[in-house]
Amino acid sequence: MIAGRYFVTPHAVERFRERIAPHLSYGQALGAIIRGLEETTSEPRPAHSGKGYYVRVRRPYAFRALIVPGDGPFPAVATVIRSGAGRGGTRERERRRRAQLRDASTPPTR
């Protein structure tokens, strides 16, 4: 599907649904990707493979889109990756820290 400045591949839409928003239909997921890419203000960053670049989208869904040169006049969104791996890790660390504090404040049982 070509929309805006990118061709969004079916693979990218399926990865978005699988990794970020499984509750969305295919069409809703496609729309979310398109809106996110249109509204992002982040600067593209080169991919580690050197074959394209990543664009970070923060709202309403946080993800990174891998953009590669397309066969036609538009670059293609090859896949979508969950953004904020650190965010999830931070959340997990915070959950563990709270559990430790809770456990430390509970007197030992005999």
* pLDDT tier, 95 (very low <50, low <70, confident <90, very high otherwise): confident
In a domain, 70, yes or no: yes
> Which residue range(s) make up the domain with 89?
2-105
**β-strand pairing of 45-46 with 53-57:** antiparallel
Cβ distance 88 to 45 under 8 Å? no
In a domain, 110, yes or no: no
| 18-60 confidence digits (pLDDT tens) | 999 999 999 999 999 999 999 888 888 998 888 899 999 988 8
In a domain, 84, yes or no: yes
21: amino acid identity, one letter: A
- 53 secondary structure, DSSP code: E
Encoding tokens for residue 27? 């069409």
Higher pLDDT, 104 or 12: 12
Give the predicted TM-score (pTM) of the model: 0.70
Calculate helix-pair angle for 26-39, 10-19, nearest 10 degrees: 100
Q: What is the pLDDT of residue 103?
A: 75
From the centroid of its chain, how far is CA 96? Answer: 24
In a domain, 41, yes or no: yes
In a domain, 15, yes or no: yes
Is pLDDT above 60 for 89?
no
Query: What is the domain count for the chain?
Result: 1
